[in-house]
Structure 1
């Protein structure tokens, strides 16, 4: 069964290329296996991100950055481009795979609760954990979500209170939010993301990975047989202020040239946005698909303003995944208004 899966492990500073290459490849394999076994784009996206969450190398699920008071607080979201339904969870500390909770919330959006109550689109904290337990998701003690690496980072930087401002840059976190975009044989398109958030973030902080329009976006325009999806990474507050995922997809789905559209969206709606006028360094990245449902082909695009961004992709027609480590040229500074972009033309499904 044809389909396509692409994943990223965040825009930031890649320290161990081999490590992230293996994580991306395994995530792609799991997503593609789901499609080949008759699964949907939702299945593929969830399984790919679960694989990323289960790796202690990433800042999502197991191995998430710890808050100022040494807690795990995960965010995750997923969006179905066909139904336009969105689900998210935030400040989750004991759900093994937050993306599975987000997927369940997303799918239940069209079903009213008892007495005609509107179902939730985002669940937080203890309420999210209770709901996850009720629907049978795996619940673990919060300590089981803390990796050795995350604990060491916390212990080291928590002592350096005077360096707190610097910690809000991506210098201390190798990579950030993880994400995936998927297309299945029926032309359904889905995107999702998961994150542990900023290192030493204020407890209770909600990032873009749980925010509508900022962490991921997917939609189908049946009038012109086009669909698009994206998942973002970077400074969550900046991506939320600009609704960047939504803006990126809407521009892509109506464009003549995806590469030009992506660049212009970064320039006009992020780097030079009036909402971010006082910011000199804006760390961001995205992984996107634009897909033609009539011709069954499309383009994979990525961009970032950070030192690097790791990603992998695979179609069901390929025997193994491909890996890309996109890097900022050495003569440019991370976080400046410089965009590094890439593309893979005409993905045939």
Structure 2
């Protein structure tokens, strides 16, 4: 039976997700059948560009539709919580862009609802499904690096977008791009850090525009992570072990090149598309869609590679970083079921 996708918002990341999905030749029996946006003209333009059959002028109308099984939510950060709940309440599986929600309380609330409804939900940390990352994980598990002792990662871009810089939209550099660094450290160490230390700079909105984060996992194991929204960095990450190192090359958050322990540079080509992408290496967005389909068909409500527990841990880490830097949302003062 065909797995039918609905797209929530007609923005830039939704464009790239749909383009990656539609241009991938081996996605199996699944298709994108609908898109919803608050601006119907924009939704219709999006649908025409990507050959999507149905257009909705409200998210609720899409949620009510019996023509979709699963949604991809590409909305602004501050809308994630409400939209996840809306679609779960209406019986839809969910793939929600990172950050999953604004804080750990919202995150746990949404996951609790998904479990209650027995519906699949996953944070769209597409990195976890990168062929390069899977290759790196195999090398680590085979003991090629020995004991992992240190991770150094950098992610810096020049960004003028309100979605990152404005508090009202859930803006935050750590939520927008710092999460990629945090998830890398968790991907490698596979346990919560014992201590978190963050220093950074806030803009006039009270939103973090840069930070250095030190994660201490005990026994001399650490990660030092640098993120910037006003400065372009060399966006790579190196994992150091007692037997050698691996460098995930720029762009580390979805790489097509990795320098492995033996010094060899391996490439991981991505499929091509006739339509342009907004962001680099966005063709890789399809791999998370493949995982969603696999899990739903297997009767799972979470992915083993991006589990509910992992999403909650990331939310807690970002809460801690924001707290240390003094970034506070009104949503932090609320309680959630």
The answer to whether TM tops 0.5 is no
Higher helix share: 2
TM-score by length of 1: 0.28
Task: Normalising by structure 2, report the TM-score.
Answer: 0.28
